[in-house]
Amino acid sequence: MKYDRRLTAILLFMTALLVSSLIVPPAFAQASQGQTLSIKITNAFPADVEGDGLINDVVVMGKIYCKPHSSVRVYFILIPPIGKKIVTDAYTIYCNGFQKKYEIHLYDVIKFPGYYTIMAYASWNNENAVSNAFVFDPGGGPGPPG
Amino acid sequence: MDEVDLRILVALGERPLGDYKWLSNRVAISYSTLLKKLSKLVDSNILWGQGYVSAQINYSSVGLEFVAIFIEAMLENWTKIEKVCDLHPYIRYRIRCLGSVNGFLALFAVPVGTVSLLLRFLDELIKAGIIVKYSLHTPMNRWAYTEYNFNFYDIESGTWKFDWNNWQKSIEDTPAPPLRKYPPSVLSQMNEEDMQILRQLSINARMERKIIAKTVGIPPYQLSRRLRFYAENQVIDAYRIIFGSAILGLTTSALFECRDSVSVTEKFALAVPKLPFQSTFFPTQNGFILYVAIPASDFPIIATILQKYCSSVKIMWCDYSASMRYWFNDAPGSFRCGEWVSSREFMVTDVLDKLLK
């Protein structure tokens, strides 16, 4: 009887642990109250940034809400329509004031047509933030009228 | 490009959806050589890397009305106009042009009965000072297309061997049949999955069928059934070969807006498919619009022939590398509950709001 009660308690504890891990977002996914850091993607589109004649680069634009005079580390995750997700290098963006606009160019990342999803991750001084997921589509390419 | 590359392009033009086995047999090279050669043609930007065969959708069969618009604009607004086009949910194509019209040829396929909303949108662009003026052309009958026939290209001399005199003679001698009718709409028998399939085929018609089925989220047998339905109902008008900008070394793109009687349009509707150059021919209410990619040296010849037959010919050079052939059903949410969204908000207000933002 005593053994059963202990087992039930352990099972309840484990269930509570499992449920809480499912409903509470990980620290980096959501800014906690009082957190100063957050990041947003306002636009992302394919372009020929390199000028190699191929529209296979991506321009990402957005805003970082930050503490003045902080250097925020930012990286992006790009999910293409086919294949593995791409994790970019980290960029350091210096915030002068409480918010900073950014424009980052990702080179040669568009390999397939279709919808791409991009998200930005920012970190500064043990604070982490993740942006909205922005969906874009290369849309088309050159060709005869039709 | 070498001799084998040319043979591959000829074979691809003959059968754009021909499988690799057929292509390798046709070109008389091994399967692995064919794959290597194709990949090289893509890498060198002769074939468009994201899909070098694109399905041309018959807009009338999916309940859309096709409109061609020449837009006149100041040079400083051209980039803005391209953005405007990118934002419009029913844009199909745009290309910069210089000549009789300095601006763009923009093609739209709007839900049936909503051309007035498109005109309203263009009027707003005039008010905003983005465009100067526009002229609208409604294609009356089915289009005609040609793809490059590289059998006419001599790789050693780097010239095209096409007999323009013969072509002109065929215009005079051959009695032309009436222009082809548009197929009727089968939109009522289609759903969102169909629009997704057509989108994939417009992106890359050579994509493996099982990948298309997976992307759309349907079993492969259902895809085969739908493809049969499209063939029976002429939903797909043609399969176009999409070339990268490296093709500009061989030809240059031109547009002709020609006005004359229907009988002249019928003659050219028959003659244009005999050209060995990539072209699109739209019969309109006043004559026809002809896009053709030809060698620069042949440009005066075709322009003279057109002048001979048509009472009015407007000539424009086009910037192929800045052209945009939009994939079908490109705007998310434009097709809902079996019909195209045709509200003023969706087609006018929202687009202008996004532009100003």
What is the β-pairing status of strands B252-259 and B153-154? unpaired
> For the segment B11-29, what is each residue's pLDDT rounded down to a tens digit?
999 999 999 999 999 999 9
**Cβ distance A107 to A82 under 8 Å?**
no
Q: Are A142 and B323 in contact (CB < 8 Å)?
A: yes
Whether B129 is in a domain gets the answer yes
A62 touches chain B (CB under 8 A): no
| CATH number of residue B21's parent domain | 1.10.10
Q: Are B242 and A142 in contact (CB < 8 Å)?
A: yes
Among A108-112, B194-198, B239-243, which is the least confidently predicted range?
A108-112
B211 vs A contacts (CB less than 8 Å): 82
> For the segment B45-101, what is each residue's pLDDT rounded down to a tens digit?
899 877 899 999 999 999 999 999 999 999 999 988 988 898 899 999 999 999 999
Q: Are B330 and A145 in contact (CB < 8 Å)?
A: no
The kind and range of the H/E element at A46 are strand A38-47
A51 touches chain B (CB under 8 A): no
Ramachandran angles phi, psi of B255, nearest 5°: -125, 140
Tell me whether 0.90 is exceeded by the ipTM.
no
Q: Are A142 and B244 in contact (CB < 8 Å)?
A: yes
Whether B128 is in a domain gets the answer yes
B107 vs A contacts (CB less than 8 Å): 145-146
**Which residue range is the domain that position B77 belongs to?**
62-140+338-356
**Cβ distance B179 to B266 under 8 Å?**
yes
Q: Which CATH superfamily is domain A28-136 in?
A: Immunoglobulins (2.60.40.10)
| CATH number of residue B348's parent domain | 3.30.70.920
Min Cα separation B173/chain A (Å) = 29
* pLDDT above 50 for A1: no
A108 vs B contacts (CB less than 8 Å): none
Whether B220 is in a domain gets the answer no
B323 vs A contacts (CB less than 8 Å): 142-143
> For the segment A40-55, what is each residue's pLDDT rounded down to a tens digit?
998 888 877 887 766 7
B95 vs A contacts (CB less than 8 Å): 145
Taking residues B181-199, report their average pLDDT.
94
pLDDT at B246: 84
**Cβ distance B116 to B110 under 8 Å?**
no
B54 touches chain A (CB under 8 A): yes
Here the tokens at position A63 are 């805003």
Whether B92 is in a domain gets the answer yes
Residue A143 is nearest to which of B211, B279, B323, comparing CB atoms? B323
Q: Are B243 and A143 in contact (CB < 8 Å)?
A: yes
pLDDT at A2: 46
Residue with tokens 């837009």: B71
Under the banding of pLDDT at 50, 70 and 90, the label for residue A4 is: low
What single-letter DSSP state applies at residue B112? T
What pTM was estimated for this model as a whole?
Answer: 0.77
B310 touches chain A (CB under 8 A): no
Domain shared by B91 and B134, yes or no: yes
Number of domains in chain B: 2
> For the segment B59-71, what is each residue's pLDDT rounded down to a tens digit?
999 999 999 999 9
